[in-house]
Each structure stands twice: as structure tokens, then as C-alpha cells.
Amino acid sequence: MSFGIDHDHELAATSQQLGHLSGELIGNGLTLQRAVKPLLVLTTKGRFDVSDHVFMAEVVQPVLIKDGGLFLVSRADGDISQECGSGFGLFHRDTRYLSRYEIRIGGKSLLTLMTSAARGAQSVHDMTNDKIRQLDRRTLDVQSLGVRLERTVVGETLCLTDLLSVRNFTTDHTGFRVSVLVDALFEDIFELRGAKPGKRGPTPQVTIYDSGLAFRYAGADAVTRRLDVVFSRPVRMRKRAGVHTAEIDFELEGQASEEIAITFTVCEEDALQATPAPKPAYYQGVKVKSDDAILDAVMSRSLRDLAMLETGLQDNFIAGGMPWFVSAFGRDSLLAAMQTLAFDPRPTEGVARLFASYQGKATDAETGEQPGKIHHELRLGAMARLKEIPQRPSYMSVDSTPLFLILIGKHAQWTGDRSLLRELRLSIDAALTWIDGDGDSDGDGYLDYAGEKDSTFGIPRKEGGVPEAPIALCEVQGYVYLAKLLIAEAFRAEGALATADRLGAEAAALRERFNRDFWMEDEGCYALALEKGGRQLTVVTSNAGQVLWSGIADPDKAARTAERLMRPDMNSGWGVRTLSEHEAAYNPLNYHLGCVWPFDNALIVEGLRRYGLDEAALDLFADVVSAAGHFSLGRLPEFYVGFTREPDLFPARCPFAEPMQAWSAGAVPQMLVAMLGLKRDGSALRMDQPILPSAIRRLAIEGLRFEGGRIGCVLERKGDGALSGRIIRQEEEQ
């Protein structure tokens, strides 16, 4: 986590409504619906400013399905109702196309038995009826009908297809009315999150057909958006309380069944065409098999979620998360591609190309654009097109640019292929120039930022108060160090020796200054940041652990930093907190000030391995995998509460955390690669001093994309506890 540069949320929750279902949502994808409604909290700051602040609304335990750029967020019963709140609906390119969608039988909501969205692009909802009156006025008892809703989104055709099947489980004839309430308002996603649009088009036009209806909206951004709703059989359309309702009467004999299909097709006229989805899909064919069922399930879920987050613009990329961040999102997209480079290098190539295409060319105070700077967030909805928000794209992060360089450097290092480096050479040069120029606003040799923060508490002083800009974060200096080393290595292989030598010398000088200026001898770790005048912000944070990932730390200081992070005030037992519980600003519910971020811990684990601090790495790896096993489907959220781990309890879901986040999905894959020590050695793959928790006796990975083919590895524990590993070809027997 990078304090001071994550402008994604404003947290103001005052109650501990932390996702009360999390203990009952297990890795098989089943959800148990409770009597309470899904919790939705909306917090608005009331303005946009150059800090790239965005409004935030919380969506707890939604059902998420996605394919390409089309995704759906619903309740467990499949409904998108006014009670759900702003985060639910059918979305495409930052527009909510389907704003309301409710299915009623006999005028009543359905009772949910099981819901699963484990398949990614499809959800299945098994339900039954409440007590209702039939068409002939007789009463039909509760649980007399079996209702299954199978819904699928297809990004290529921009279609949502629902298949509603109803079976009569009684021995008598039954007749009942199915009502489907539908509305489409075509809201911008930022409008849903609390922003007031400056301009709106006229009220959507609605055309009624025998088999459905069509909504058409001429936006103020000169884009016409349309939603066509088609039923597989004729329906009666009515408008009640301003909502269009389709009515279909079902007549079923005992044990008979009937079904109806409903198709929703999205159309955005005059829009940019998206690149087709990659074939095969990202990470397809990669499998992890071990004697740890939780690890296997978490790895499978992680890679499937990352493939699900694949989205197309002019290049395919991994979106930041769902439901709020299905966009090309700075550090999230860059790090997710980097975390899984060993499993499939193709996401890296798409992400790097896309971010290079939006690299800053001019200077714009509103968006934060500067020549050479890599963007933070790209939005495509009406408010972005009308320039009512800065995310068009915005450049309000300081870490995207060095992470962009690291991604390209790691790609060249892992694949041995420098064609991407050569293709993006001008972008690389521009990024390096920005880092040493505009990125260092006060000329002290550190990459800093001088803008506002989305909250006054995001970067705390130990004694309280708001630090003075410019602020140079500790982990960001490490990013710069690693970026220059990796690009220098690649340039040297390309024969650009003078440039490589210069970058190497700059990295070495940065490392020397950094270990002098950021080290806190009394705390035994690195300061969070330097504020104006080079004053240290002396709070103890997880950012110091990311310093180890980059390799900028001196070895003795790395060991002391690791020891400091593993103390109980920092290590919750579910992972390292963002801020020590000894600090005055500590709040385990706040994403800056005490929560646990999976991606943060993944970088720390890789850093611990870099310095040979294996015991701490094993502990953190086991803790985060254990935490993942307690969340629905084995899916790690964006972050979770930093409460101390206790026997028989589980990690608490945090307000405002994204249910699915790319860099959280990439966390366990990244840690597993670090555990195995997977490295390229010439044209071969090797495991460098692999380690695993003692309970794991065998682990195999197959299907890694390497050298134009597939490769795998097997690690087994011998009788004496020692690990023995080998690299295998795809076709070799495991």
C-alpha cells in the first residue's frame, strides 16, 4: 500500500458493519442469505479536486459476474432493486445500463436457497416461492416451487442472458404470475458514487414490443446508449409506479416445469471498439495441486478472478477490481500483471502497451498530467467524456510510473524477450525523464508528490497533524531504485552500455542516500516518508516492508525491519497491518491506518525472501492463505480489518473494501512464486532454494507459459523434511 497516493476511497464508517456473513461464506461458493438487506453505505466528500478524489459507496457480499467489459452486480436472489443501492446493476464502460431488475412470483420476492458465481461469467441462483395467491385465488404454500435462475454475461456480444426455470413440486395443478420489473437510467458510475453530473441527456426513450422493450438514451456526451430486453415468449407490458413490468402467467401440472429466457443486449453507438478477448484466456491451463486444499482453492480462485478481470480497449488489460474499478487502474493493473508474470506473461504485454498509449504528453493541473507520467485511472463514461471528472485519464499517483518501468523490466528478465522493451523504448525514456524531472518537485533526489490527499489522515505524523508537501514515500524510492536497475539490465543486454551504466550509478547513489535519510535507528525500520525539508514521518508502517521487495534496503537494516514488522503491534496474525497499533492514528478498520492488504503482504513476503528471511516469509504466507480460506470462494478482498487473530475466529470484512480486487487476486500467486524461488536461468527455469510451510509435503504447478511453450515444476518433501524439486515439461508425467 502506498500512503498518500491511493485516492480511491474516503472512509467515514463509524459502525462495525463488517460483512457479517463472512464466517458463513465458505470456499465452495455457496452463500447463505440472511434476513438483513445487503449493507450499502454512501459517503461523499462533496467535490472533486486535483487530489483525484473519487466518491465511494460500499457494496457488501454482492454476486459478481463478468466477461470482457460487461459485468453484473446483484443480490443473492438475483435482484437489482432500489433497496440494493447504487452499486448494483448491469455495467459497461462506466455506465449502468440496467438500473432495476426484480423477479416476483405471485407478487412476492423469491426466497434464496443457494447462490454461486464461482464460474466467473455465470451465476446460478436456486430459490423457492413465498406463500402466494394463485391465479385462481387459491393459496400456494411456501416452498412449493423450485426456481432456478441461470444467468450468463458474454462480453463479445454484450449480452446478459437469464434462463428462469420453475418446477411445481406439488401434485396439484398450479397457476401463478411471474412479474419482471425492469428499468434503465444509464447513470454514469461516478453519479452512482455520489458525484453530481454537470450535464444529462433527455429522459431515456422506451419502446414496447410483444416480446420485450428497448431503452434508448442520447447522452450529453453525444453517445447513444441502448438496452434491448427480449423475452423468449410474448409478455404483457405494464407501467406501474414509473417502472416497466413484464407479466407472464405460468400454468403447471404436478411436478411439471417451464422456463423462460430473458436477454439484455447493451449497445453503445460511436464507441471505441475493444480488442477481442485473448485466446486462450489468460492463465488458462495453469493448475496448482498440493496436499493443502485451501491453498489449491485459493490459487484456482485467484487465477480465475484475474482472467475474469481481463478487459479490452485497444489492448487487453487486467481491470483494477469489481464493482467500482473495472478500468485501467494504475498500480492495481500494473501490479496484478507483475504478480502473475510467471504464470502467463501476456497480461504484462497488454497492460504495458495500454499504459504507454496514455502516457502523459502535456501539463494539466486538473488531471495531474505531466510529460512522461503514467496514468492512475482511466474512465470512459459520459462524465469523463464531458470532462466533469479528472479520470479521463487522471495522473494523480506517484507510483504508477516506476511500476510501469518495473513491469517492462521484469517482463524482459522473465521471458528473455526484449521486443516489448524495444517497442516501448520512447515511453521508457519519457518515464525515466519524468522521474528525475517533474517527479522530483523540490530537487532533493527523491520522487515525491505535492498534491492533496483524499483524506487528512492518510499520511500521519506520529505527533499528529498533516505533513507538509512535497512528500517522498519510502517504498516509492524503492520502486525507482528497482526500476532503474531492471531497465539498466535490459539496456545493457541491448548494447546501450552508457545508458545502462548511468542508470546503475543513479540507482546506487539513491540507495546510499535512502538508507541514510529514511532509516529510524530507534524503531529499527524505515520511516514512512520524508515531508517538506527532509523531515521524517516516524510512524511504523507496512510501507517499510515494501522497501525490502525493491532491494534498496541495506541487508542489516532489512533484517531489523523484518523483525520490527513481525512484532504483534504490526503483525495481526492474518498479515502485516498498514500501521502499528501503537501509533496514535491507529484504526484497524481504516484502509490506511491499520487494515491488512493482501498485495502489501505479498510484496513483503517476496522482499523477505530476497534477503533470506525465510521464517518470517513462511509465517506471512501461511497467515494470508489461511485468511483467504475464510472468505467466500477463497477470494481475498481488497483489504480486511486488522484485528488481532484469535482462536476459533476469522478475519473481518472491512467497510468499503472491493469484494474482488486484481492485486489481491495476485497476492497468493506472487507469494507462491517467491516461496518456490522460480527464476529464469538462461533459457531454462529453476527453483532457487524453495521453501514451503512444513504441513505441505507435495506441490506441483503445471501449465506455466515459458519460452513459447508450457512448463511446470514439482516440489516434494523427503522423510527428513528436506524439499526436493524438479522442473518438468508439460507432457511429462507428474
Per residue in 304-317, pLDDT (tens digit) is: 999 999 999 989 99
Euclidean distance between CA atoms 375 and 320, whole angstroms: 13
Taken in order 513, 544, 406, 678, is the CA torsion positive or negative? positive
Cell of 48: 472533486
pLDDT digits (tens, 9 = 90+) for 466-503: 899 999 999 999 999 999 999 999 999 999 999 999 99
Q: Given pLDDT bands bounded at 50, 70 and 90, which one contains residue 734?
A: very low
470 and 447 in contact (C-beta within 8 Å)? no
**Confidence (pLDDT) at 29:** 31
**Confidence (pLDDT) at 58:** 54
Euclidean distance between CA atoms 238 and 326, whole angstroms: 34
Residue 47 has pLDDT above 90, yes or no: no
Q: Which fold has domain 287-676?
A: Glycosyltransferase (1.50.10)
> In the chain, what are the domain boundaries?
70-268, 287-676
pLDDT digits (tens, 9 = 90+) for 604-651: 999 999 999 999 999 999 999 999 999 999 999 999 999 999 999 999
Residue 53 has pLDDT above 70, yes or no: no
Side-chain half-sphere of 379: how many Cα atoms within 13 Å?
26
- Classify residue 578 by its DSSP letter: S
488 and 505 in contact (C-beta within 8 Å)? no
Look at 16-25, 130-139, 202-211, 720-729 and tell me which has the smallest mean pLDDT.
16-25
Q: What is each CA distance from 407 to 277, 547, 593, in whole angstroms? A: 21, 17, 28
**Confidence (pLDDT) at 278:** 87
**Confidence (pLDDT) at 9:** 29
Euclidean distance between CA atoms 15 and 27, whole angstroms: 27
On whether the 70-268 domain is CATH 3.30.420.10, my answer is: no
Q: Please tell me the total number of residues recorded for the chain in this structure.
A: 734
Q: What is each CA distance from 580 to 280, 531, 584, 595, in whole angstroms? A: 44, 20, 9, 10
- Classify residue 632 by its DSSP letter: G
- Cell 471528472 sits at which residue? 389
Q: Given pLDDT bands bounded at 50, 70 and 90, which one contains residue 21?
A: very low
**Strand 328-329 relative to strand 377-378: parallel, antiparallel, unpaired?**
antiparallel
Residue 595 has pLDDT above 90, yes or no: yes
User: How much is the pTM?
Assistant: 0.91
Euclidean distance between CA atoms 380 and 394, whole angstroms: 12
Which one is predicted more confidently, 63 or 16?
Answer: 63
What amino acid is encoded at 6 in this protein? D
Q: Given pLDDT bands bounded at 50, 70 and 90, which one contains residue 3?
A: very low
**Confidence (pLDDT) at 457:** 64
User: Within its chain, how far is the Cα of 697 from the centroid?
Assistant: 31
Percent of the chain with pLDDT over 90: 83
Q: What's the mean per-residue pLDDT of the chain?
A: 90
Q: Given pLDDT bands bounded at 50, 70 and 90, which one contains residue 83?
A: confident
The residue-averaged pLDDT of 221-232 equals 97
pLDDT digits (tens, 9 = 90+) for 418-444: 999 999 999 999 999 999 999 999 999
**Confidence (pLDDT) at 45:** 32
Euclidean distance between CA atoms 73 and 62, whole angstroms: 6
Q: Given pLDDT bands bounded at 50, 70 and 90, which one contains residue 84?
A: low
541 and 526 in contact (C-beta within 8 Å)? no
**Strand 316-318 relative to strand 310-312: parallel, antiparallel, unpaired?**
antiparallel
Radius of gyration of the chain (CA): 26
